[in-house]
Each structure stands twice: as structure tokens, then as C-alpha cells.
A and B are shown apart, each in its own frame.
Chain A
Amino acid sequence: MDIKDRILKLQPEATFEEQGDLIAVVAPGKFRALMEALRNEGDKMDYLREIMGLDNGTELGAVYYLESTATYEQIAVKTMTPDRENPMLPSVCDLWKTAEIKEREVYDFFGIRFLNNPDMRRIFLREDWKGYPLRKDYDMNSNPLNMENEVNADEGDEFVIDSYGSVEDLKNKIFDRNDFVVNIGPQHPSTHGVLRLRTSLEGEMVKKIDPVCGYIHRGIEKMAESMTYPQTLAMTDRLDYLSANQNRHALCMCIEKACGIEIPERAKYIRTIIDELQRIDSHLLYYSCLVMDMGGLTPFFYGFRDREMVLDILEDTTGGRLIQNYYVIGGVQADLHPEFQTKVKAFIKHLRGIIHEYHEIFTGNVIARERLIKVGMLSREDAISLGTTGGTGRASGWHNDVRKHHPYGMYDQVDFKEIVYDGCDSFDRYMVRMDEIMESMNIIEQLIDRIPEGDYKVKTKPIIKLPAGTYSASVETSRGEFMAIIVSDGGKSPVRLHFRSTGLPLVHALDTVCRGNKIADLIAIGGTLDYVIPDIDR
């Protein structure tokens, strides 16, 4: 066990949880040193996949999932503090930038203050919210419907320990009094949902962006804690609705892994094909929305015209177009529609024949190229540090395709390219998606004629109970790595169910990418980053 050895060498006092995922547990005092060592020594764990806040009834803490971008080795580290009154953990946001926003999420739901995080505000909930809702002792009646307007603070809290050893709150200014702050959103044509970007401008130039999330937060993770496992599946389609099936794939895999359910070969094929269809669907919409954001209204319809065919195919089999509820624990809900294969083949033939139109009207257009090339630079280091997975990371030269590096479904048996560009600009982010459409068709073509006969689902017990432990599974959705993490105590509903949002790091990256660019670029960059709001506001 080299992971164990490695951690023990760095931190001899670490203990390990081995039910489900292997998780190293360290005390808060030793935690920061261990993380620094993991980040900077040997195989650098330079990608912080996720921080999951946790309340096990007595202690509060967080689990950090790390990955090395060189070796793809994964490590999980957990640290818990018994102090429920005033829980504090050291921040790791100087090691991984993405921690800035993920620690805010943990603070919002668990009230854990991260020392030295420059911006410890609530992120999803209102700033005057009482209590921390994901704690086990949270009183559900403590926040009656509030009809007052929320006033956003112009200051962020930064908690530091001063030279006397006591905690001090440095009030960091987010916006200056004289800043020209424009609200872009929550109702705005090109924030792709109810996202609000407080943008301070210098003329046309963007000086700073402060994303305000939570307008459609539904508390899915909290709801899931009172649901049985099959019930929790219904939530995933409502996260990133353009990756509905892929999200569900992650949760199904996670539960199947925990229960030791082997799904039939046929179900694996079906899941892989449907995942790729969904990816094509999402990338076509991506194309449409991007050109629309840039003022090109005609290409918008090209994408929608062809996306309609994908939705029709999915509708035949699953009965749904947006919310499909297709995958279930142990397989899929129903067998494929008899015409599925013919229709998919016809669609691929059609799209291969027509995709040149997309490139003729937009990719080669001089205005489009001027607007995208060398605009919105996101360096590889920043991409990794900010955890912008998916096409956005791959356009910055980061090989991060989960399908390739941690294969699931049938991906280890098909031949496909991981599309990586190294231009780091908006244009490459766009090209990654366009090439992935072709690659997805390639994957589907390899599988569509080889779907084996047999069951599409295994029988599972009527009540599914997961053995105690922490389980995780991740998939490559249309816009990055999506992760489902379940903490179970052996019961029929999870103690904690957490999803890695693919969009949150992307929205967080907006500030880094957009600074110094124009307002028009902000919109185009938002389009190329490709975030979906319900996935951020879980």
C-alpha cells in the first residue's frame, strides 16, 4: 500500500479508514503540514478534487480528495475537530485555489471557519441565515421564510490567528466604495441560469468578479439524508440537467460499488452509449449558447435542430427529454427502444454530414476568431489549481479525462482520443467541445453494434442498505469530473451524500480568467467555460 506508506512517512500519527475509500485521518493540528507535503513533495497532489464537509454527530470536519495530475494517483485525507461551538480548521487555499470557494461551501453548511481563507462569507445561503443546515443538530425551524431583501456585504471575513494567539477577523474589502459595480444576473440573458456576477468595471474593462450563488439552491444534499438510496437517484438529474444521465451514472456506480452489485454487460453498454449521446446533446447546446452569447443568432438554431434528434432518441428509450430517470441501481430502468440502434446510426450519419455547417458559419468566421483567440487565458497551472475539469481544463493542456484515466462503464474497451489543446484560450475551449462531439460519435459507433443480449438490470433487494463507510465514484460528465460521495452508517439512507459540482470551480475561475478583459469577453468566456447553474446550487 504505497499511499499508506507515503502518508505514514509524512505523518506517522495518521490513521486510516478502509471501509470503502481509503481515507487517511489526521488531527487538525497536523493536517496543514501533511497537506503541504502532499502538495509539494514527490508525486505532487496538485489537483484538489473536492472538499466534503462532514458532521458525524460528535465531530465536525472535512474530507479532502486529492489527485496527482502526473500519475493520477488519488488520496483522501480527513480531519475532524471536536469543537462544535467554534470549529476551526486551517485553510488550504494557498495550496489549491479552488479551496477558496469550496471552503466557503463547507463554512456555509457546517460553520467550520477556515483560518487564513481571505473570503469566509456564506456562499449559497443568505448572509443573515441562522445556523448551519448540514449539521446534525440543525433546527429545521430556525429560518422561517424571510421576505426582506438580502443585502450583500462588501467585505469578506478573513479569520487569522494574531500574534497573541487569539482569532482576529480581518475585514477584506471585496469592492471599494468608488467601484462601478454592475450586477450581471441573477436575471440576465447570458448567465445561463440564475447566477449573479457582481462585476466591478473600469470603463469596459472587468476589474473584479464576485459570483453570488444560491438563487436556486434546493438543499439536495440535505434532502438526500432523509431519503432511501433509490430515492436519492431522482436528485441527480436535477443537478446538471445537461449531464443528467452521467450524474446518475456516478451515483449508481457509487452505490453499486458499496453494495458489491455487478451490473450486466448489456447495462454497461447502454449506460456508456447514453452517456455519450448526452455528451453530444450537451456540446451541441454549448455551441448554440456560445454563439448566442456572442450575438450570432443563426448558428444557435443549428445546434438546437440537431440536438432535437438526440432528445428524440433518448425520449424513445427513457420517456424523458430533460429529466430522464433512466439508470437505476443494478442497471437501467427499461430496455432499449427497438429502433434505438437504427436511429442512433442514422443520427450519427446525419451529424457527421452536417457538422461542417457549424464550422463554416462560426469557427472560420473572422469575427468569431477575433473574439475568441487569445482571449480569456487560463494557464495550465491555474486550471489545475482552480480544479476546472472537463473541456475547460483540457483546453489548457491538462489531461484530465476521467474516462481515460479512471475508466468506468465500457470506456476501457473502446478506442478514443482524449481531446487536449494547449492554447489555454476561449477558442481552444470551444474546439475541445467540437472535437469531443466527433469523439463521442466515434465511441458510440464502436459500441452500438456490439450491445450484448441479456438482462438490462439485476434484481436488487427491495431495501438497499450500504455497509458503513465512505464511498465515492466519479465520472466524466459533459463539463468535467462529477463525483458522488456517500457516507453511510449501514442504514437505508445516507449520513451524508455529497456531489462534486462541475460548475462551481468554473464560476470560481471566472474572476481569474476575466480580469482585464472587456464586458463582452466576460460573456463569451462564460459561454466557453460552460457552467450550468443547478449543478452549482445543489
Chain B
Amino acid sequence: MNGFLDYYNFKPVAEWIHSSLCGVMPEGLALFLEGLVVAVVIILLYAILAIALIYMERKVCAFFQCRLGPMRVGKWGLLQVFADVFKILIKEIIKLKNSDHFLYELAPYLVILASILTFSCLPWHNGMGIIDFNIGIFFVLAVSSIEVVGILLAGWSSNSKYTLIGAMRSGAMMISYELSLGMAMLAMVALSGTMSISGIVESQADGWNIFKGHIPAWIAFIVYLIAGNAEANRGPFDLAEAEQELTAGYHTEYSGMHFGFFYLAEYLNLFIVSGIAATVFLGGWMPLHIAGLDAFNQVMDYIPGVVWFFGKAFLIVFLLMWIKWTFPRLRIDQILTLEWKYLIPICLFNLLLMVVLKVYGLVF
């Protein structure tokens, strides 16, 4: 059945590379070299995606706002983001006199580290998952939490009142929303029966989870989008860096590439949230399969998995941008009310519902 799907499978290629490398060098060195190559690829991909996302955000927001967005640098402003990245690279990193230097400089690296680690867990393509083991989802949730530490440190060590308020807001919000994020994912783990990311994707070969899990899956999907948006610190949940209130929140005092790291991480977190949503709810790289329609499935299989993955991820990115550019910002107490009084009870109920449905075989 999965004839063509196997044609795109990257795993044999990876294995072939590994075995041929082992033929000419000891296995340890081969692993090291492979790791190095993968790391470089990941970081490059990270940077390129950031640039693509920044460009997309500018254009999407411009079209929502009856504007054209960047148009001057390159055709349709395509080179604008490159110019901006170059500019931010050559800017001075200002050292604050009364800040806690060590923590102040550590913070952006923690944020970017959390972001890259989570980024590496995404299932790009059939057989192309980089970090992939039996508790993948758990790992994603765990490493993405490191970001809060970075944000809190940034706010605290800058020794400024605005950053402190921003960091506190962010801490309160992100820790709260991790709960409903985790529980929404847990419902889907219950449906798939595995925590491994590749396992979750494989389990959706006969239909995406959002169709298989019907009502509880939709509830989980919507909760996930809300909580994910909050985790990515984006509007209407962007109160940690609410520029109208706190000028720039926790990263007010950063400049140059240190600020750039926060900026990059924010955009990549948007992509990561979307990518995880695409994986857990929409089948990751798995093409759209409808059980029983083999001809249709065959046609879908012609489209490579990487296209499917990016297509789904960017669709959700667009959805989240749409939300950001439409809604005004919530207030801190409203955000916490939403989480603790509404989302968490809904999530708990949803998890129960999912388990019951799964046990009685009422899911597809």
C-alpha cells in the first residue's frame, strides 16, 4: 500500500551514508561527523526559516492592514529581511553598567537553546526526524520550558523595572499555559498510543489524528492553538513584551545580536508551535490519507513528505498570524483567568473523554 511513500523514505539513505562512512573510519568518528553535519544543517535551517517567517509576517500583516509591506529592497522586498539580519549582526552589543553581567549575557543563549532543541524534534520528512526516541513529546515539552528560565533571567538581570514586570508576566503566563499545552498533547498521545514523534506520525497513516479523534481532538486542537500562541508569546498574549505598556518587556535592554536571539526565538517558536501542531494533529509529514480510498491515497503519496510538513506548519503559522493581527491584547489577570478557570478544566475533561472513547473504541 505504501509503495510510493517508501520511495521518499530517507531512512535507507541515512543508513547507507552511515554504513559507507563506517567503512572508511571508526564508528565513533563517523557518528561525530554526522552529528556535526546535522547540527550545521539544523542551524542553517533555523536561520533560513527565521528569515522566511519574518518576511511572511511582514507581508501577512501588511496585507491585513491595507498596506504592501516591504517593497523597496529587492523584488517585493525579498531582500529586506537579509538586510535587516545583516544590520542586526553588525550592531553593537551594549553592556549595561548595573546589570548582572553573567546572567544578562546567558539569558539569550538559554532562550535560543531551548528553541533549537525543540526545533530539532520536528519530523521533517519520512525518516528525517533528528531527535526521535520513545518519549519524544515529553522531551519537547521539557526542553521548551527552558525558555521561561531565559526570559526570567533576562528580565531580572537587566535591572530595569520594565523588564522585571515583563519577565514576571511572562513567567506567570508561560508556566500556566504549559499545563494546558501538555494536557492537550496528552489527549493526543492517548489517542496515538505512543509518545514517540515518529510513532505518532506513523499512527496517522490511515487518517490524521484530528479526524480520527473527532470531538476531543478538535477540542484539544483549539486549546493547543490558544496555549501554543501563549507559549510563543505572541498577540493577543504578547503582554510580556507589550510595547504599549512595557516598551519591549523583558528584552528592553538588549541590543544587537543578543536582542536578535530573542527575536529569532520568538519567530521560530511560532514555527515550532505550528510544527508540533502539524505533527500531533495533522499527521506531520504524512500525506492526507482516507482509509479505503487507495487511489486517492496513492495520488497524495506523490507529494513528498517535506512539502506536506511545511505546508501544514505554515498553514498554522498563517492562522496564528491572522489571530495576532486581528485581536487586541489581553490583560494579565484575564490571561490567567482564561487558563486556570477555563482551559485547564476543559483539558482535564477532554483527556478523560479521549481516554473513554479510546477504551471503548469509539475513535476511528
* A367 interface neighbour in B61, B165, B246, B329, Cβ under 8 Å: B329
One of B67, B243, B331 near A371 (C-beta < 8 A): B331
Stretch of A16-24, A388-396, A516-524 at the chain-chain interface: A516-524
Question: Which residues of chain A (352-374) have a CB below 8 Å from chain B?
Answer: 361-362, 365, 367-368, 370-371
Q: Which of A180, A201, A370 has a CB less than 8 Å from the CB of B334?
A: A370
Q: Do the beta carbons of A365 and B66 come within 8 Å of each other?
A: no
The stretch of B13-21, B102-110, B214-222, B233-241 in contact with A is B233-241
B-contact bits for A160-196, CB 8 A (1 contact / 0 none): 0000000000000000000010110000111000000
Q: Given A297-B61, A370-B334, answer yes or no on A519-B245 (Cβ-Cβ < 8 Å).
A: yes
Encode B58-73 as 1/0 by CB contact (under 8 A) with A: 0001001111000000
Chain A CB within 8 A of B161 CB: yes
Q: Does B134 contact A (CB under 8 A)?
A: no
C-alpha gap A523/B162 in the complex (Å) = 14
Structural contact, B247 and A521, CB atoms closer than 8 A: no
Say yes or no for B327: interface residue by CB 8 A criterion.
yes
Q: Contact between A189 and B243 (Cβ–Cβ < 8 Å)?
A: yes
Q: Shortest distance in angstroms between B98's beta carbon and chain A's nearest beta carbon?
A: 16
A538 CB to nearest chain B CB (Å): 27
Contact A182 B162 (CB under 8 A): yes
The answer to the question of A217 belonging to the interface, with a C-beta cut-off of 8 Å to chain B, is: no
- Residues in A neighbouring B245, C-beta threshold 8 A: 190, 519-520, 522-523
Question: A371 — which chain B residues lie within 8 A by C-beta?
Answer: 328, 330-331, 334
Q: Which residue of A lies closest to B330 (CB)?
A: A367
Q: In the complex, A367 Cα to B236 Cα: how many Å?
A: 9
Contact indicator A518/B247 (Cβ below 8 Å): no
Choose from A180, A189, A362, A519 the contact partner of B328 (Cβ within 8 Å).
Answer: A362
Pick the contact of A294: B65, B244, B247, B326 (CB < 8 A).
Answer: B244
Bound: A379/B169 CA distance, A: 31
Report B176 CB to chain A, min CB distance, Å.
15
User: B66 contacts which of A296, A305, A520, A521 (Cβ < 8 Å)?
Assistant: A305
How many angstroms from the CA of A158 to the CA of B33 in the assembled complex? 77
Chain B residue nearest in CB terms to A361: B326
B238 engages A295 (CB within 8 Å)? yes
Is B179 an interface residue when CB atoms closer than 8 A count as contact? Answer: no
Asked whether, in the complex, the Cβ of B244 is within 8 Å of the Cβ of A523, the reply is yes
Decide if B325 touches A520 in the complex (CB within 8 Å): no
Counting CB contacts under 8 A, is B84 at the interface?
no
B332 in the interface (beta carbon within 8 A): yes
Q: Which of A204, A294, A302, A362 contacts B329 (CB 8 A)?
A: A294
Per-position binary interface string of chain A over residues 297-315, scored 1 when its CB falls under 8 Å from any chain B CB and 0 otherwise: 1101110010000000000
Q: Is the CB of A295 within 8 A of B65?
A: no
Do residues A295 and B165 form an inter-chain contact, with CB atoms below 8 A? no
Contacts of B330 in A (CB 8 A): 367, 370-371
Cβ-defined contact, A190 with B244, below 8 A: yes
Contact of B331 among A182, A190, A301, A521 (CB under 8 A): A521
Contact A295 B328 (CB under 8 A): yes
- Complex CA distance for A305 and B67, rounded to whole angstroms: 10
A298 with B64: CB separation less than 8 A: yes
**Do A520 and B328 contact each other (CB < 8 Å), given the known contacts A182-B162, A294-B244, A297-B65?**
no
- Complex CA gap A361/B66 in Å reads 14
Query: Cβ of A291 < 8 Å from any Cβ of B?
Result: yes
- Provide the bound-state CA to CA distance between A189 and B252, in Å: 13
Please report the total number of B residues contacting A with Cβ < 8 Å: 29
Interface residues of A in 507-535 (CB under 8 A from B): 518-523
Whether the pair B331, A291 counts as a contact (CB closer than 8 A) is no
Q: Does A103 contact B (CB under 8 A)?
A: no
- A519 cross-chain contacts in B, Cβ below 8 A: 165, 245-246
Q: Is A234 an interface residue (CB 8 A)?
A: no
Task: Output the least CB separation between B69 and chain A (Å).
Answer: 12
B333 at the interface (CB under 8 A from A): yes
B54 contacts A by Cβ under 8 Å: no
Contacts of A301 in B (CB 8 A): 65-67
B350 to chain A, nearest CB (A): 22
Residue-wise interface mask of A (195-230) relative to B, using a CB-CB cutoff of 8 A (1 in contact, 0 not): 000000100100000000000000000000000000
Contact status B329-A296, CB under 8 Å: yes
In the assembly, what is the distance between CA of A126 and CA of B73, in Å? 46
- Closest B-chain residue to A296, C-beta based? B328
Complex-state Cα separation, A340 to B162, whole angstroms: 48
Q: Could you tell me the distance in whole angstroms from the C-beta of A501 to the nearest C-beta in chain B?
A: 24
Whether, in the assembled complex, B5 has its beta carbon less than 8 Å from a beta carbon of chain A, the answer is no
Nearest CB of chain B from residue A35's CB, rounded to whole Å: 40
Q: Which residues of chain A come closer than 8 Å to B328, judged between CB atoms?
A: 291, 294-296, 362, 365, 367-368, 371
A292 contacts the other chain (Cβ, under 8 Å)?
yes
Q: For B328, B330, B334, which residue has the most chain A Cβ atoms within 10 angstroms? A: B328
Question: Which chain A residues border B327 with CB–CB below 8 Å?
Answer: 295-296, 365, 367
On whether the beta carbons of A295 and B247 are closer than 8 Å, the reply is no
Closest B residue, CB atoms, query A187 = B247
Residues of B154-172 contacting chain A, CB below 8 A: 161-162, 165, 169
Contact A188 B247 (CB under 8 A): yes
Question: Quick one: given A189-B243, A295-B244, A298-B64, are A180 and B161 in contact (CB under 8 Å)?
Answer: yes
User: Nearest Cβ in chain B — how far from A373, in angstroms?
Assistant: 12
Interface membership of A537, Cβ < 8 A: no
Contact A182 B66 (CB under 8 A): no
Distance between B21 CB and nearest chain A CB, rounded to angstroms: 51
- Which of A182, A292, A367, A368 is the one whose CB lies under 8 Å from B161? A182
User: Which residues of B lie under 8 Å from residue A367 when comparing CB positions?
Assistant: 236, 327-330, 334
Residue of B nearest to A369 (CB): B328
Point out which of A295, A365, A518 has the most chain B C-beta atoms below 10 A from its C-beta: A295
Taking the complex as formed, is A50 at the interface, i.e. its CB lies under 8 A from any CB of chain B? no
* CB interface residues, B 10-33, toward A, < 8 Å: none
If A204-B332, A295-B236, A296-B329 touch, does A189 touch B244 (CB 8 Å cutoff)?
A: yes
Interface residue? B56 (CB, 8 A): no
From A189, A297, A365, A518, B325 is in contact (CB under 8 Å) with A297
Return chain B residues, CB-CB under 8 Å to A292.
244
Closest to A289 in B: B244
B113 at the interface (CB under 8 A from A): no
**Residue in B243, B331, B334 whose Cβ sees the most chain A Cβ within 10 Å:** B331
Closest chain A residue to B235 by CB distance? Answer: A295
Report which of A182, A300, A518 forms a contact with B332, defined as CB distance below 8 A: A518
Does B242 have its Cβ within 8 Å of any Cβ on chain A? yes
Chain B residues in 8 Å Cβ range of A300: 65
Q: Which residues of B sit under 8 angstroms from A201, Cβ to Cβ? A: 165
A476 within 8 A of B: no
**Closest residue on chain A to residue B324 by CB atoms:** A297
A276 at the interface (CB under 8 A from B): no
A residues in contact with B67, CB < 8 Å: 301
Q: Which listed residue (B61, B65, B247, B331) contacts A520, Cβ 8 A? A: B331
4 tightest Cβ-Cβ pairs between the two chains A and B: A295-B329, A296-B328, A294-B328, A301-B65
14 pairs from A and B in contact (CB 8 Å cutoff): A189-B243, A190-B244, A295-B239, A295-B329, A297-B325, A298-B325, A300-B65, A361-B326, A367-B330, A371-B330, A371-B331, A518-B332, A520-B239, A520-B329
Beyond A295-B244, A295-B329, A370-B331, list 9 extra A-B contacts (CB 8 Å).
A180-B161, A188-B247, A189-B243, A296-B328, A298-B61, A301-B65, A367-B327, A370-B330, A370-B334
Q: Which residues of B pack against A, CB within 8 Å?
A: 61, 64-67, 161-162, 165, 169, 235-236, 238-239, 242-247, 325-334
